Amino acid sequence: MLACKPFVPKTSTITSEYTITSNILGFGITGKVVQCIHKETGVQYALKILEDNQKSRREAEIHWRVSDCPHIVKVVDIFENTNQHTKKNYLLMVMEYMKGGELFSKIKENENFTESEAAKIVYQISSAIAYLHERNIAHRDLKPENLLYTSNDHNAVLKLTDFGFAKEVVAKKSLQTPCYTPYYVPPEILNFERYDKSCDIWSLGIITYILLSGCPPFFSQNGQPISPGMKSKIRAGKYDFPDAQWKCVSKSAKDLIRSLLLTEPDRRPTIREVMSNHWVAQHNAVPNTPLGTNMFFTTKAWDQFREIFRESLQTKRKEHPNVPTLMTLDASKNPFIY
């Protein structure tokens, strides 16, 4: 398979094989993503532009190695080129073009989103995590913005992308660098403790909670990306299941979330245990109970909630000054950010 090939970026000029367009598809932690077209076949791809440094090479190599997983965005080509104007070196990652867009954007369009569909999504995300964890890789930045659909079809496949924070976990050695996105950060990272692959399990719990209710379990305050009050609740694992959003959700789903959001990393299930959980493994048998998730996604509160992530991403990019910055977060009246 492609990802089994050695990581040897091409030194030929990328424009000899691809036409690079000005269509910006998105921004990652370490670089922007634009559309490109293969000259010979006319196939559209996504091109991630990274400054060539040690961190970027780690990201590119890890993504290259795992892109044969059915639930991870495939890397097709990698080039190392020098910009003739700036004389700076870049890594250029050509990836499959995910036409279906982000996870939550697709749910927003689904007026009849059900618990069964949520369970299928959790299964697909878990499949990607399992592939990484079996290779002792922690993604460390699981969030809906990094989960993309292959198309707009009903049976589109959900895939994980953006390995800017991903890192190999050496046996008997834990991770130390505090990498996180607000709302998905586990307590051990906030406490500057050593952590391991279980940080991905916590983030999966947060995503599952939002999928089933439309709201995050931990809220920020005063429009801040992550407030002191929010940090305290995360550290204490203090959240609940309000009846307004949760009265129709199954006990099995709630029990799964409780296990994923345990504050002690050692008590959380492994990803294989998550995959064996009845609600996840038998996702096709989960009731088609209608959820109110997309009701929140269509409100102004959701737009302001998304702005929190843009503010967080802008903060992360301070280490990468050549990546375009995003607008700041305005004063928020979001009822979920108080």
Tokens of 263: 């504050």
3-state secondary structure of 124: helix
Nearest to 139 by CA among 73, 95, 77, 90: 73
3-state secondary structure of 25: strand
- 150 vs 229: CA distance, rounded Å: 38
Please give the single-letter amino acid code of residue 52.
D
Q: Are 319 and 191 in contact (CB under 8 A)?
A: no
3-state secondary structure of 117: helix
Q: Are 120 and 158 in contact (CB under 8 A)?
A: no
Residue 48 labelled as part of a binding site: yes
The catalytic position among 77, 141, 162, 200 is: 141
- Within 8 A by CB and 6+ apart from 145, the residues are 102, 162, 309
Query: 240 catalytic, yes or no?
Result: no
Q: Which residues are annotated as a binding site?
A: 48
As annotated, the active-site residues are 141
